[in-house]
Amino acid sequence: MGSDTILGIMAINKKAIAGAVVIVLIVGGFWYLNNKKFDPSVDVRAFKTAGEFENYYKNLDELYKKDTYGGATPEETLALFIEALKKGDTELAAKYFVLEKQKEEAGELLVGKNNGVLNLLIGDLEKEKIGSNFSEGKYRFVTHDNNNNAEFQFDLVFNPFTKVWKIESL
């Protein structure tokens, strides 16, 4: 065999190995995302390696195992959230959100408190609403205006570790 042939085989093998690694990473990523609670607000580009990405979610699971803020039902969590807002306790209110959003929501609720608009949010949350499960472990409330048009919706998710419901979005 000539040296050109050997170099050609080595180049093909490197390309095949690189291709196989890419395929494994893609398939593994899809499997992982389908089997884990994925937070789309997390910028995956911030992770330098797949291990960092996996560690983020492993640590998140550990935090969820310790998180007891929320109610046994979506209605109870919502009532606890509204109660905290009425007291002006935005730190407590933010703890009823999913862990990934608590810091951001604490800031937004504090701004709302400082601007005097928490009562508007409380008013929207206390409107007559229809609630239903829209998938396993997910619950949605919808309020309607006077013309029966959907006006406001908010979603809650179930924390299977501590059996409490968390606000996912308002």
SS (H, E, C) 4-40: HHHHHHHHHHHHHHHHHHHHHHHHHHHHHHHHCCCCC
Per-residue pLDDT of 96-109, as tens digits, reads 999 999 999 999 99
For residue 34, pLDDT beyond 50: no
139-169 residue pLDDT tens: 999 998 889 888 889 999 999 999 999 999 9
Instruction: Inform me whether the pLDDT recorded for 25 exceeds 50.
Output: no
- Both tokens of 132, joined, read 């239903």
Shared domain for 152 and 100, answered yes or no, is yes
The average pLDDT across 38-54 equals: 58
Burial of residue 70, with CB atoms counted within 10 A of its CB: 0-12 exposed, 13-18 middle, 19 or more buried: buried
Mean pLDDT, residues 12-24 taken together: 53
Find out whether 155 and 140 touch, Cβ atoms under 8 Å: yes
End-of-domain residue from the set 31, 50, 65: 65
Residue of higher predicted confidence among 90 and 23: 90
SS3 (DSSP) at 126: helix
User: By mean pLDDT, which of 69-73, 129-133, 162-166 is the weakest?
Assistant: 129-133
Residues 25 and 77 in one domain: no
∠ CA 163-165-168 to the nearest 5 degrees? 140
Residues 98 and 155 in one domain: yes
pTM over 0.75: no
143: tokens are: 């309020």
Mean pLDDT of all residues in the chain? 80
Q: Which residues pair with 154 in a beta bridge?
A: 141
Instruction: Please tell me the predicted confidence (pLDDT) of residue 60.
Output: 76
Element (H, E) at 158: strand 150-159
32 in the same domain as 92: no
Which has more pLDDT, 47 or 40? 47
Instruction: Please tell me whether residues 53 and 130 are part of one structural domain.
Output: no
CB 87 within 8 A of CB 122: no
Sequence-ordered alpha helix ranges (H) in the chain:
3-35, 50-66, 74-86, 90-94, 102-114, 118-126
* CATH number of the structural domain spanning residue 78: 3.10.450
At 137, is the secondary structure helix, strand, or coil? coil
Q: How confident is the model at residue 26 (pLDDT cuts 50, 70, 90)?
A: low
Name the residue range of residue 100's domain. 70-169
The verdict on 130 and 104 lying in the same domain is yes
> What pLDDT sits at residue 148?
87
